[in-house]
Amino acid sequence: TSATAAAGMHLCDGIPPDVTVEMTGAASKTDRAHFWQTRRAFFVTPQVFENDMRRGHCPASRVICCVVDEAHKAARDHAYCTSLQELMHRSHDGFRVVALSATPGTDA
């Protein structure tokens, strides 16, 4: 959600602001395409990540780490799943995924 993206950005306030950006669906496609090329740390909604990955705006080869908050929601066709699948197809072998959840699964 937009709130989750904003909270993540706030928690990482040690990262210089000139290399970070929060992107939600409110940002234009043109602005987002520019940010993917000029920034280094991104705080985005799953839907923005999915859409920008599919459009080729997100430079998958430069992704080092993808942190997924609310990872317990990542099932089937959720934007988390589809965007990470796309990242795996377009990226290199060296990226990492960190999945966070404060909600235990049903089989925990």
Which of 33-37, 70-74, 93-97, 102-106 has the least mean pLDDT?
102-106
Quote the distance between the C-alpha of residue 49 and its chain's center.
5
CB 25 within 8 A of CB 5: no
Helices marked H in 12-100: 29-38, 46-55, 79-90
Instruction: Count CB atoms within 10 A of the CB of residue 11.
Output: 11
The pLDDT score that the predictor gives to residue 39 is 94
Using DSSP's 3-state secondary structure scheme, residue 41 falls into strand
Give which of 91, 7, 78, 19 is closest to 46, Cα–Cα. 78
- Output the average pLDDT for the chain: 83
